Structure 1
Amino acid sequence: MKLSEIKKELDTLENVTFLLPNGTYVPEHFHVTEVGLITRNFIDCGGKVRNETVINFQLWDANDFEHRLKPKRLLDVITLSEKVLGIEDNDIEVEYQGETIGKYDLEFNGKDFILLNKKTACLAEDQCGIPQEKQKTKLSEIPSQTNSCTPGGGCC
Structure 2
Amino acid sequence: MLKLIAAVDHQWGIGKSGDLLVSLPLDMKHFKEETMGKTVIMGRKTLESFPNHKPLPNRRNLVLTRNKNYQLEGIEVFHDINDLLSEDAYIIGGGEIYRQFLPYCEEASITQIRHSFEADTFFPNLDEDSEWMLVDESNIMEEMGYHFTFRTYRRK
Range of TM-score over shorter length: under 0.3
Higher relative contact order (CA 8 A, sep 6+): 2
TM-score (norm 1): 0.21
Larger Rg: 1
TM-score (norm 2): 0.21
